[in-house]
Structure 1
């Protein structure tokens, strides 16, 4: 396992970066930061640093989160845009800000998990950087509560409830159920309203999308995939209509995995 971890860490060390110092989302998306990418790298990066590198690079980890907060957060809603192009040249980006057009629920969810898991892994709990990261997580959770549907779930594009083909989406709602419940359990969120909202979210998913098919449990309402570009895929332009165009499926791992994580938190609470 250590050999595999070292290989992954070597990839992290060599990952190209934007002008601000953040990892590119992938090599095929040069100079771009997507919210999902923070979850892909940062919790692993922090845990490796803590266990095997004497935490020498944790300033880099904090800095990448702080850049996203500074650049990608919308001050009006407290939500975060899905993507950012530091060159401001890709077709889906605003030429002045470099930001994509909309908020996508699951990407904001992955960002919340990245914040939460990194906070819980970090070796310097209570430091200035840790407290700043905690405030970013708290602010995001407060903002998301404003957009929580009465069902407990959140919408695929969370700031346009019931607009057109918009729908209550399972994977992002499961992620936020997990983030709220675990955030409260681990003491990062201190107000019980977050735990209550997490329970409401999990129960709402069960009520709407958990069903039995031929004797087997099945979970519906999952957005299969969503992304931005590249240049050869102009359909993925970050518009509202684009996010509505991707398939909605049952039992995809990107929905089932977060649902199981949320259930684990819910089960501990209900015990």
Structure 2
């Protein structure tokens, strides 16, 4: 038996030390236990149960639907699709003529607000995700009522915009994007989904307002603070003001008009709006948007209000849903969406929520914005815009946080009430919350629906105690 020379042995040891993998295929295996016998008291501490404030897992479809059903039951009960006489309270059943005494039967929420445009979108999404026809039926019943009222009352409103009466006058004679944009979006989405409601007149009214009548800056950006019709200027709060909210109130409507009419000029307008809002209002260092911008000012009130950022990210996922991939602006919108989602991800709180002012953790955690982010991020995962490994867990965490705010009776807590733009942090930080704030119900429905779709497409589970992507489902 020959033994290696001392020099060769030394060389072998050095090579093995420098290149351990090359020397042994098992070099990366875990070392054997150093002790045998009973485990030490600290051996499994990493696997202890954790008391998370909301479930730390991916909810299954039945669990999500149970939450959505509570919301549905509450909304169906408290938003009647009926007319009554405003004096006697008696039911008005003849919808073929304009009755100046008729009003919508009061409920908890208005059927023609922009918030309810979002709620109709949420109902459509929930119906699609769950297969429960009650959700689409909710939309169809109320859209049908609005269509009938439009036929009956539009001639009178057009003949006398100031003096005429109509149960849905704010829609028939819109004065702001809030009156028209989100409703128009819901009409076109329902139509594309196969609804039999006659949307012709209604899409004509709201589509024409969004694309031709809403005030714009000189470069065509949707704006507020234009002429008031009396020789002055609408000061809300100042002349030539951009509100980030309007990225949602008008831009998806433009994109869907492109889809429903085939006229690509609407796609062009939608892309231009995303780019021009973003150029003025997106902070690339933070990855989030400011709420308000005033043309002509050197400095702007850079407050990163959560729900406004929600309207922006939601606008982009809705535009991408119908924007042709061969459109010259498609990639720009996609990259802006990715930049925004990446920025938002950095601010999610440990409980799953985002704060009222996103980058100020001393403000309260807000439900409607968190719901919108859960929806938009899950939609981006489902469409392949962002990676499920990175963003699926945070979308699930956000949904679980939102679900924790849905009460047994279907009302939702922690929703910021309506909010204008302001120039100081106190205004945003102290805005009240209310279960009667309509802004959170549509986003909650959208979020739950998209989470069902995401968790149906991908599997998320615990790996070494962390919620992680575990591949696609067969």
**Mapped pair 1:42 → 2:242:** no
Counterpart of 1:206?
Answer: 403
Shift of 1:26: 6.6
Shift of 1:53: 4.6
1:232-247 equivalences in 2 (<5 Å): 237-247=422-432
> How many Å separate the matches in 2 of 1:268 and 1:53?
29
1:48-82 per-residue CA deviation (whole Å, 9 max, x = no partner) reads 12221521232222111111111111132111100
> How many Å separate the matches in 2 of 1:32 and 1:196?
37
Say which SS state the counterpart of residue 360 (structure 2) adopts.
Answer: coil
Say which SS state the counterpart of residue 245 (structure 2) adopts.
Answer: helix
Counterpart of 2:393?
Answer: 196
Question: Could you say if the C-alpha distance between residues 4 and 191 of structure 1 is closer, same or farther in structure 2, counting changes exceeding 3 Å?
Answer: same
Counterpart of 2:217?
Answer: 18
Q: TM-score by structure 1 length?
A: 0.85
> How many Å separate the matches in 2 of 1:75 and 1:268?
30
Say which SS state the counterpart of residue 273 (structure 2) adopts.
Answer: helix
Say which SS state the counterpart of residue 137 (structure 1) adopts.
Answer: helix
Q: TM-score by structure 2 length?
A: 0.50
**Mapped pair 1:115 → 2:316:** yes
Counterpart of 1:258?
Answer: 443
Counterpart of 1:77?
Answer: 286
Counterpart contact for 1:43–1:121, Cα < 8 Å: no
Question: Could you say if the C-alpha distance between residues 4 and 267 of structure 1 is closer, same or farther in structure 2, counting changes exceeding 3 Å?
Answer: same
> Computing the radius of gyration over CA atoms, which structure comes out larger, 1 or 2?
2
> How many Å separate the matches in 1 of 2:399 and 2:327?
32
Shift of 1:47: 0.9
Counterpart of 1:269?
Answer: 454
1:1-271 equivalences in 2 (<5 Å): 1-12=199-210, 13-25=212-224, 28=234, 29=236, 30-88=239-297, 96-97=298-299, 99-122=300-323, 124-161=324-361, 163=362, 166-207=363-404, 209-212=405-408, 216-228=409-421, 237-271=422-456
Counterpart contact for 1:25–1:37, Cα < 8 Å: no
Question: Could you say if the C-alpha distance between residues 7 and 53 of structure 1 is closer, same or farther in structure 2, counting changes exceeding 3 Å?
Answer: farther
Say which SS state the counterpart of residue 189 (structure 1) adopts.
Answer: coil
1:196-252 per-residue CA deviation (whole Å, 9 max, x = no partner) reads 211110102223x2232xxx1331011012112xxxxxxxx3321111222111242
Counterpart contact for 2:257–2:263, Cα < 8 Å: no
Counterpart contact for 1:225–1:247, Cα < 8 Å: no
Counterpart contact for 1:184–1:192, Cα < 8 Å: no
> How many Å separate the matches in 1 of 2:381 and 2:296?
38
Residue-pair matches, total: 247
Say which SS state the counterpart of residue 220 (structure 2) adopts.
Answer: coil
Shift of 1:193: 1.8
Counterpart contact for 1:105–1:154, Cα < 8 Å: yes
1:115-137 per-residue CA deviation (whole Å, 9 max, x = no partner) reads 11001111x21443101110000
Say which SS state the counterpart of residue 265 (structure 2) adopts.
Answer: coil
Say which SS state the counterpart of residue 219 (structure 1) adopts.
Answer: coil
Question: Could you say if the C-alpha distance between residues 187 and 251 of structure 1 is closer, same or farther in structure 2, counting changes exceeding 3 Å?
Answer: farther
Question: Could you say if the C-alpha distance between residues 270 and 7 of structure 1 is closer, same or farther in structure 2, counting changes exceeding 3 Å?
Answer: same
Say which SS state the counterpart of residue 84 (structure 1) adopts.
Answer: strand
Deviating beyond 4 angstroms after TM superposition, the runs of 4 or more aligned structure 1 residues are none
What stretches of structure 1 of length at least 5 have no aligned partner? 89-95, 229-236
> How many Å separate the matches in 2 of 1:199 and 1:25?
36
